[in-house]
Amino acid sequence: MTARNVDTSVVATIAAALAVVLSATAFSGVLADARWVLPAACTVGIIAGVGVLGRSQRWWPVATALAQLAALMMVLATQFSGKAVLGFLPGPAAFGELADQLGLALDLVREGVPPVPAEPQLQCLVCLGLGVVAVFVDVIAVAGGAPAVAGLVLLCVFAIPASLADNMLPWWSFAAGALGFALLLASGGPQRRWQRRERGDTVAGTLFGRTTTAVAGVAAVIALLTGSVFTGVGTEGRLPGAGTAGFGGTGGGIGLQPFTSLRGQLDRSRTVDLFRVRGLTQETYLRALTLRKFNPQKGWELDGLTQGVDAQQELPLPDGTEYAVGTPMKVDIEPLGYRDPWLPVFGTPTVVGGMGPDWRYDPAAGIVFTQTRQQSRPYSEQLFVPSPTPEQLREAGGPVRIDPAYLDTSGIPPQVADLAKRLTAGAPTDFDKAAALNHYFTDPANGFDYELETAPPTGGDGLSDFLFRGKRGYCEQFASSMAVLLRASGIPSRVAVGFTSGYRDGDSRVITTDDAHAWVEAYFPGWGWTTFDPTPLDDGRTALPEYLHQERQPQALPPPPGQNTPAPPPPSGQVPQPGQPETGDQHIADQPQERETAPAVWPLVLLLVVVLALLAATPAGVREARRRLRLRAVDAGAPDSAELAWRELLDEFWDRGSKPEDTDTARRVAAGLVEQHALDAEGSRAVRELVTSVEKQWYGPGDGVPDDSVRTSLREAVDSLHRSEPLSWQARLLPRSVLGLLGRG
């Protein structure tokens, strides 16, 4: 029985689609379930079908690619939008809904801890990405006949999940990707020299023969090695500015940029459980990191963090602390949705264990941290919660045994320093000053309000705006401002970032993203760092220490007349202006999202513009890649260098509109092209010499000695052609030698 002929362009299209789908298995390392597989496979399959249709109808290649992009938009609208016209046509409402879905997906990518559930938003993002990849692979590998180049696009499919996953991606995903790439190589390209239709057994033998098997095996090994490297590279688990001497800081406004350094987990649109704590007998704050440097332009920054000591050993008392007096506890902490280089601890830790190797403790900053990438593990902490009395803090004196940087007042505006002086004028001791400043913010009579957004700026610095005019904000503004006022009063201070103690759940407590918080720590000689919290929360989550509960707060002095008039409330829907802190404490997660009122269509439009621009540049890119491969082989003296040089010269003529008949001899072709394009004497001679070399390769005895004249002849012939007939920009952007191959595909 005679084997049936098959359309080789269809075979190449199917191979390209399979390569994309098999490479997409890498997402199984970051998505917790398989709900994304069917939508993604359908998306890639429909794009492949449109490619087959366009080539069967002899569409212009760019028209085929545009049709594939249009099909991608319709697939996304059908699967992920309820506002598509007729159920599948993407109109403005559908584009807006898709933009919302993609915005939520990007939030999940930034904030989630892999593997994450394959929510519809993530499915939409994966389908969009794989759809764009499928279009590019189809254009490059099938229409352009350059499957090896398409492998670079497929590699990007692996790079994205590999950069997000904590562990190596599943080994079988690398094997699947390698198999898909091998099939793609075997299905097309100039080396196949297939006609439009070939015998089915010939195609099958090529696709699944020994060569393909060998290529797949080698590619699988390389992919596994590359994958292990990819998943070992990244920034998660590494401190900003990590080095042997210390760490640089981050900041923004008067707020606390390190909120967002906690891997973005605090800036969420939904509540997520972060820790389950057992053994906590007294409500207190869970500290992740502390900030000691005040930058008037950027806010509070991490600064001066040292290498510290091994956190697995018994921990020393914090710098400047002499009295280990307080409530002892042993707590077990189980991270649920938290992963970060900062290990939060309660109170003053004495022993921390179970979290794995390579954790350090800095006694000066009171921070447990790591510089290595590792999983979050349950850990235990032995600690005490300091409990000095107001009288003991009033009597605290002696040398200040901490870094002088905690007293740095540079950059504090004069009006802020004057406010601190007046608020503490009647306070005889540092404790009374600190208590007066704390009470200044929490006393309703002083006009400060805890809200989910700050007042709009009035032209001054952010600190003065908050203290004298706006007087409303969330915990970052309150903690930042009180720490500055403490330093202006001569009291060492720092800002602490972490969590309140959460809610009770049976015999344990659960800490969520809603519990993220910032507070102030002031230094008292002998007693060390003590907690103050100026944020006027009314939900019962503030864990004020006993020395503030016991002490009757002195009455704060109001600011001078003219500086305490609250700014008028912003219009409905007002969002914080540029320059105001917008970081991720627990409260900002509840702020209304702008995309809920004004769907952002422009990201999709921008994406389409970029994709169209890349598609428009694809023919020129394919032409340049083919030219470079040929010239590299000619320069290296490859055995078939004469034929490669001849084909390159023919493509140069083809780009200028001359496509010789395949049945003509090389001499006849050369004579006609030289005359038609009016090559000068040097160019004519170079073309004749190149014809002699290629005829020698085709019909000669084949001594295997490379012809060194080929390189010179090709260069002189091309230079002459450029002199006689320079290429227009249209011909450079859309080279006929590539478009002709696409039309035949």
**Domains annotated on the chain, with CATH:** 5-234 (no CATH), 258-539+550-578 (3.10.620.30), 626-744 (no CATH)
Model confidence at 354: pLDDT above 60: yes
Question: What is the structure's pLDDT at 592?
Answer: 35
Model confidence at 321: pLDDT above 70: yes
Q: What is the rounded CA–CA span in Å between residue 165 and residue 234? A: 10
Mean pLDDT of 295-310: 84
3-state secondary structure of 712: helix
User: Which of the residue ranges 65-69, 454-458, 613-617, 699-703 would you say has the lowest mean pLDDT?
Assistant: 454-458
Q: What is the rounded CA–CA span in Å between residue 75 and residue 127? A: 9
Q: What is the rounded CA–CA span in Å between residue 402 and residue 105? A: 45
Q: Do residues 645 and 630 lie in contact, with contact meaning Cβ atoms separated by under 8 Å?
A: yes
Mean pLDDT of 521-539: 90
User: Which of the residue ranges 107-116, 521-530, 540-549, 692-701 would you say has the lowest mean pLDDT?
Assistant: 107-116
Question: What is the structure's pLDDT at 131?
Answer: 93
Model confidence at 330: pLDDT above 50: yes
Q: Tell the residue number behind the tokens 């993609």, with chain if given.
A: 102
Residue 146's Cβ-side half-sphere holds a number of Cα atoms within 13 Å equal to 23
Q: Give the tens place of pLDDT for each residue, 541-575.
A: 777 787 887 554 444 444 444 444 444 344 333 33
Q: Which residue has the higher pLDDT, 216 or 525?
A: 525
Residues belonging to the chain: 745
| β pairing state of 493-499 and 472-473 | unpaired
Neighbours of 745 (CB within 10 A): 22
Question: What is the structure's pLDDT at 192?
Answer: 45
Q: Do residues 274 and 499 lie in contact, with contact meaning Cβ atoms separated by under 8 Å?
A: yes
CA–centroid distance for 582 within its chain: 19
- What is the number of helices (H) and of strands (E) in the chain? 23, 21
Q: Tell the residue number behind the tokens 């939008």, with chain if given.
A: 81
Question: What is the structure's pLDDT at 349?
Answer: 95
**Containing H/E element for 523?**
strand 516-524
Q: Quick one: pLDDT band at residue 157, thresholds 50, 70, 90?
A: confident
148: Cβ contacts below 8 Å, ≥ 6 apart: 185, 189
Question: What is the structure's pLDDT at 606?
Answer: 59
3-state secondary structure of 359: strand
Query: DSSP class of residue 279?
Result: S
Q: Quick one: pLDDT band at residue 331, thresholds 50, 70, 90?
A: very high
Question: What is the structure's pLDDT at 422?
Answer: 94
Proportion of the chain above pLDDT 90, given as a percent: 27
Q: Which region, left, alpha or beta, applies to residue 681 given φ > 0 means left and ψ of -120 to 50 means alpha?
A: alpha
Model confidence at 529: pLDDT above 60: yes
Q: What is the rounded CA–CA span in Å between residue 385 and residue 407? A: 24
Can you state the angle between helices 200-207 and 210-230, rounded to 10 degrees? Answer: 40
Picking from 59, 93, 85, 88, the residue whose alpha carbon sits closest to that of residue 72 is 88
Question: What is the structure's pLDDT at 745?
Answer: 42
Model confidence at 32: pLDDT above 50: yes
Mean pLDDT of 151-177: 73
Q: Do residues 470 and 574 lie in contact, with contact meaning Cβ atoms separated by under 8 Å?
A: no
Mean pLDDT of 313-323: 91
Model confidence at 188: pLDDT above 80: no
Question: What is the structure's pLDDT at 315?
Answer: 94
Strand order in the sheet with 508-512: 348-353, 379-386, 326-335, 273-278, 508-512, 503-505
Neighbours of 605 (CB within 10 A): 12
DSSP string, 322-339: ----EEEEEEEEEESS--
Q: What is the rounded CA–CA span in Å between residue 252 and residue 261? A: 12
Q: Quick one: pLDDT band at residue 508, thresholds 50, 70, 90?
A: very high
Query: DSSP class of residue 505?
Result: E
Query: DSSP class of residue 133?
Result: H
Average pLDDT, the chain: 77
Question: What is the structure's pLDDT at 701?
Answer: 64
Can you state the angle between helices 171-187 and 200-207, rounded to 10 degrees? Answer: 140
Q: Which residue has the higher pLDDT, 660 or 445?
A: 445
**CA separation, residue 508 to residues 175, 335, 350, 446, 679 (Å):** 45, 13, 22, 37, 88
Model confidence at 593: pLDDT above 80: no
Q: What is the rounded CA–CA span in Å between residue 381 and residue 352? A: 5
Question: What is the structure's pLDDT at 255?
Answer: 43
Mean pLDDT of 279-294: 92
Which structure tokens are listed for 670?
A: 């050369």
Question: What is the structure's pLDDT at 128?
Answer: 92
User: Which of the residue ranges 170-179, 244-253, 338-347, 388-397 would you say has the lowest mean pLDDT?
Assistant: 244-253
Model confidence at 395: pLDDT above 70: yes
**CA separation, residue 546 to residues 142, 382, 393, 438, 479 (Å):** 74, 21, 12, 14, 19
Picking from 115, 164, 165, 343, the residue whose alpha carbon sits closest to that of residue 239 is 343
Question: What is the structure's pLDDT at 172?
Answer: 76
Picking from 254, 342, 338, the residue whose alpha carbon sits closest to that of residue 299 is 254
Phi/psi at 411 (5° precision):
90, -5
Question: What is the structure's pLDDT at 135?
Answer: 93
Mean pLDDT of 108-113: 62
Mean pLDDT of 427-441: 94
Q: Quick one: pLDDT band at residue 110, thresholds 50, 70, 90?
A: low
Question: What is the structure's pLDDT at 567?
Answer: 41
Handedness of CA 725, 731, 733, 738 (dihedral sign): negative
DSSP string, 544-556: --HHHHHSPPPPP
3-state secondary structure of 543: coil
Q: Which residue has the higher pLDDT, 106 or 2?
A: 106
Greatest mean pLDDT range, 210-214, 281-285, 583-587: 281-285
Q: Do residues 616 and 62 lie in contact, with contact meaning Cβ atoms separated by under 8 Å?
A: yes
User: Which of the residue ranges 5-19, 67-81, 271-285, 402-416 would you say has the lowest mean pLDDT?
Assistant: 5-19
Question: What is the structure's pLDDT at 596?
Answer: 37
Model confidence at 703: pLDDT above 60: no
Q: Give the tens place of pLDDT for each residue, 128-138.
A: 999 999 999 89
Q: Which parts of 67-123 are beta strand (E)?
A: none
3-state secondary structure of 85: strand
Proportion of the chain above pLDDT 70, given as a percent: 72
Cα-Cα-Cα-Cα dihedral of 407, 444, 449, 301, to 10°? 10
Q: Which residue has the higher pLDDT, 123 or 235?
A: 123
Model confidence at 207: pLDDT above 80: no
Model confidence at 85: pLDDT above 90: no
User: Which of the residue ranges 304-313, 382-391, 597-606 would you say has the lowest mean pLDDT?
Assistant: 597-606
Question: What is the structure's pLDDT at 564?
Answer: 44
User: Which of the residue ranges 16-20, 35-39, 101-105, 252-256 would you say has the lowest mean pLDDT?
Assistant: 252-256
3-state secondary structure of 524: strand
Model confidence at 578: pLDDT above 90: no
Q: Do residues 402 and 320 lie in contact, with contact meaning Cβ atoms separated by under 8 Å?
A: yes
